[in-house]
Every structure is written in structure tokens, then in C-alpha cells.
Amino acid sequence: MNFYIYQHKKADTNEIFYVGKGKGNRLNSKNRNIYWHRVVNKHGFIIEKIIDGLDEELALFSEIEIIDVYRKRGITLVNMTNGGEGTSGYIHTKEHKEKLIGNTHGSSTWGMTFKGKKHSDESKAKMSYARIGNTNKKGKTLSAESKAKISNAMTGKIILKKRVLTEIEVREIRELLGYRNIAILARKYKVGESTIRRIRNNEVYKDVI
């Protein structure tokens, strides 16, 4: 019961930009991704612990839920995944490691939620089998205090409009603008040329770092 959920906020605007799960001194660590460092270098950061006193399984589920809710509310996070990874002591199989090789750069799934997708019957069966005998959460409920903390932590911005491009795609477009013309990029990402121009001129997606 020594895990917790925390978030990082921009020091100058108090905007949430990162959510994590950890224990010990993890919330103070600066061993983060490049997008986290870009935000911190520009704005600085403050740390806020959202929920404390969790077992690891509950912390993983809480991290996934909070990241999902934040993104649905339009809060821009620099988290490279949807949370729930990083289980202590977990070792990837050789087969899994081979699948991961070369499969991170330019991934179009980073920052995406599971909304609109469905688990296959095979995946459901595997998840069901993996939970056989698992009593970690048996009979466990969140206290009123913990529920209140989660509710307060998930209070964020309201979604103003549905975006066509993901944060990763916007970053890719910015990197490619010097090498490919606007028409090519518009066809590749299936948007209008005006959208590419507005990204180039920093008129849209200003919050994407």
C-alpha cells in the first residue's frame, strides 16, 4: 500500500501536463521523455500527489483512468503512453522484446485512448485467465476521501472541439515541414493544405509542445 498517483503542473500557469504512478521519490525524478523536458525548460514544474496509500495494481488502474479522463477533457499531457505500464519486477519475454525493437519512433498510437476500440475474444480470454486467483482487489473499495481526491484531481479543461490530428502527428508535421511541401503533407495526413499552413504558422495546435 505504498504506491501513489501524482501529477506535474506548469509552474507559471498551473496547467497539468503529466500524470504518473510511483512510490518513494519517483514523483521528483527528472528521468522523463523529451516532451516533458521541453515543457519544464519553458515553464518549470510543480508536483502534486493526487492519491496515496495504494497497492500497485490499484495504482496502475487509477493512472490509466486519470490519464484517459484528462485527455477526454482536452488536457494536453506529455505522457507517451496511456498509463498502466511499468509494473515492478516485470520482465518482457524474448518474443515481446523482438516485437518492440524499432517499434517506437513515429508511432501513431502514442497519446491515444482505447475509446472506440474493442478487445478481441482471444484478448478477453487471456485477460480473464491472467486474473485467475488474483485477490489483490477482492473486497476493496475506495474511501470517501480517496474518491474526493480523484474527483478534484480530474477537474480540468472542457473539450472545445474535436481534433483531427493527434499530438504525435502534429509534431511529425512540424519536423517534416522543412523537407516536404504542404501538398504532400496534406495528402499524407488526410487534412486540408490550410491546416498544414496554420500548423506551420503556429495558428493551431499551439498547446502541442
The residues spanned by each domain of the chain are 1-85+115-162, 163-209
Whole-prediction pTM value? 0.44
Alpha helices (runs of H) in 32-181, residue ranges in sequence order = 34-43, 56-72, 94-100, 121-130, 144-153, 167-176
Q: Which residues have C-beta within 8 Å of that of residue 64, sequence separation ≥ 6? A: 82, 83, 84
Please give the pLDDT value at position 20.
93
Please give the pLDDT value at position 78.
93
Query: Running DSSP on this structure, what letter comes out for residue 183?
Result: H
> What cell does 95 get?
518474443
Please give the pLDDT value at position 116.
57
Regions of the chain where pLDDT drops below 50: 87-92, 100-113, 157-160
Cα 110 to Cα 166: distance, rounded to the nearest angstrom: 9
Please give the pLDDT value at position 135.
54
Please give the pLDDT value at position 194.
87
Q: Does domain 1-85+115-162 have CATH number 3.40.50.300?
A: no
> What cell does 150 get?
480523484
Cα 184 to Cα 188: distance, rounded to the nearest angstrom: 6
